[in-house]
Chains A and B, each alone.
Chain A
Amino acid sequence: MQNKQDENRIIASSLTYTYPEAAKNAVDGVTMRVKKGEFLAILGHNGSGKSTLAKLFNALYVPSAGTVWVCGLDTRDDDLVFDIRQHAGMVFQNPDNQIVATVVEEDVAFGLENNGVEPKEIRVRIDEALKAVNMTKYAKKAPHMLSGGQKQRVAIAGVLAMKPDVIILDESTAMLDPSGRQEVMNTVHRLNKEEGISVVIITHYMAEAATADYVIVMDGGKIAMSGTPREVFTQVQRVRELGLDVPPMTDLAYMLRKNGVNVRADVLTVDEMVEEVCRLSSSN
């Protein structure tokens, strides 16, 4: 176990969750893991069980069956709940509905206050956290004066101040405009690279999933597809069946191949498509 824990931040085994009085399982026998330092995207249409899964990672929900270990801690153990939530921080969808305090820095301090951290240490940690998300100059501002992207960065800072091993973003970009989405994605990518924090993003934006190390597609509470973004998105037909899009360039590659043009199927970005076109014309 010790060894496993070193390389995996979250391990889910036959994880199942049923909402009270629901006929079907919202999450149905999911086995997966989040590795140390990994950037994982969980995709799926609305109602596919992806958000429920996220809430099982944070002990907000307790498994109906199966187990999930967060940094080696079993979420079914009541005594470990607060440890687990400190290890695996969560950012939610609606930026307005997760900020508690009336001043930015007070909100960042919220989790630390709950955990009884000394005031001096809180000061140090919130300053660091606000710096890490580039929000230092908004420390004294009222949250409702901020843009959506800024609010979400405050929420990330609040999680970051707890020094988590995993950050889970539960559709945290869904209500943002493109620049807000970009702000949030840049922030979590930087934290992932520089601080080595594992990131789990729950999303239905393909462009965001394309930047992940690994992608899991959920459908009906089960894992329908998994692999690197390339491996997943190349299966254009299957992805569409699951109610999702593919990145526009992957779609273009798919259509070109259907018309007999021999481009690589796993093109994700514009630059890769340019490369493919150059390769085509030089081989002609």
Chain B
Amino acid sequence: MLKDITLGQYFPGDSAIHRMDPRMKLILTIIYIVGVFFISNLPGYLLALAFLYLVVRISGIKFDYLLKGVKPLRFIIIFTFVLNLFFVQGETVLFDLGFWRLTKEALENAIYFALRLVFLVMGTSVLTLTTSPVQLTDGLERLMRPLQKFHFPAHELAMMMTIALRFIPTLLEETDKIQKAQMARGADFESGNLIARAKAMIPLLVPLFVSAFRRANDLAMAMEARCYRGGDHRTRLRELKYTKLDLFGALAMAGFIALIVVEGKLLG
């Protein structure tokens, strides 16, 4: 199931979307999501879907792939849907069971909220699918750089993200190895009740933490040896530059936002 999550995965390619500046993509993604949160009628969502579909087509990624990414989150989506049904107060009663009545407002709210979640996941998926983790961290770091004036650790956060990304495959491999080593000693990770299973994780988690700490220690020393001294005065191999593509992207997004604003006014 873990491998089904498209959120955070990168789909290598050379489309116009791929080539856009990561900063622009980040900004546009945020605008898109915020925009979607203000939509409150079905045609509006159809517009949002059409826009997303267009972007995905340009990027060369299969739309199915994006939909598959929503699947692992279906429980959260259903959960919020049901929650909204129950807890949103409304006037127009659709039907009444005495202890609970379903109102039109609650139903609408539940549907819109679920849709917003779906678009949130799909929108960010498009971002991560078309932007390599390196570009993404670069983009984030540079976008947040002005905040450093207020002591916001933009560089440190980006560095942490890079290191996390770098070590995920290493630690996954290590987990597999330790798990097998403990299984060779008769450990059982698969059977028993919840408590027994949680307990069975100790022989896996302790060595993993020990190893992660050792790696962190080694890495810190290696970074120091390579003159690492924080983000000040640091240059980067890759410079980010806005191009015409980014301008097109910004205009397209502006168009989309204008459309939903107009549409919202027209349909209430």
Binds A, one of B32-40, B160-168, B200-208: B160-168
Chain A residues, Cβ within 8 Å of B223 = 100, 110
The complex places the Cα of A94 from the Cα of B238 at a distance, in Å, of 27
A123 at the A/B interface (Cβ < 8 Å)? yes
**Which of the four size classes fits the interface of chain B?**
20 to 34
Per the bound structure, the CA–CA distance linking A60 and B226 in Å amounts to: 10
Nearest-neighbour CB distance to chain A for B216, whole angstroms, equals 9
Given the contacts A60-B224, A92-B218, A102 and B235 also touching, CB distance less than 8 Å: no
Kindly report which residue of chain B lies nearest to residue A115, judged by CB atoms: B227
Number of contacting residues on A, CB 8 A? 41
Most B C-beta atoms less than 10 A away, residue of A102, A110, A112: A102
Q: A114 and B227: CB pair below 8 A? A: yes
In the complex, B221 has a CB within 8 A of chain A: yes
**Distance to closest chain A CB from B138 (angstroms):** 10
Of A39-47, A82-90, A231-239, the one contacting chain B is A82-90
Q: In the complex, which residues of chain A have a beta carbon less than 8 angstroms from the beta carbon of B98?
A: none
- Chain A residues whose CB sits within 8 angstroms of the CB of B166 once the complex forms: 99-102, 143-144
Q: Measured between alpha carbons, how far is A270 from B221 in the docked complex, in Å?
A: 40
In the assembled complex, B191 has its CB within 8 A of some CB on chain A: no
Instruction: Please give the distance in Å from B38's CB to the nearest CB on chain A.
Output: 36
Q: Please, which residues of chain A bring their CB within 8 A of the CB of B244?
A: none
Q: Chain B residues near A126 (CB, 8 Å)?
A: 237
Residues in A neighbouring B185, C-beta threshold 8 A: none
User: Which partner residue on chain A sits nearest B173 by CB separation?
Assistant: A144
Tell me the complex Cα distance, A98–B134, Å.
Answer: 18
Does the CB pair A98–B237 fall under 8 Å? no
A96 at the interface (CB under 8 A from B): yes
The interface bits of chain B over 169-213 (1 if a CB of A lies within 8 angstroms of the residue's CB, else 0) are 110010000000000000000000000000000000000000000
Other-chain residue from B218, B228, B235 in contact with A117 (beta carbon distance below 8 A): B235
Chain B residues with CB under 8 Å of chain A are 133-134, 162-163, 165-166, 169-170, 173, 214-215, 218-219, 221-229, 233-239
Q: What 9 pairs across the A-B complex have the smallest Cβ distances?
A: A97-B218, A98-B222, A109-B237, A111-B226, A144-B169, A114-B227, A90-B225, A116-B233, A97-B215
A116-B234, A119-B235, A144-B170 known, 10 other contacts, Cβ within 8 Å: A85-B224, A86-B227, A89-B225, A99-B166, A100-B166, A100-B226, A105-B237, A116-B233, A119-B239, A158-B226
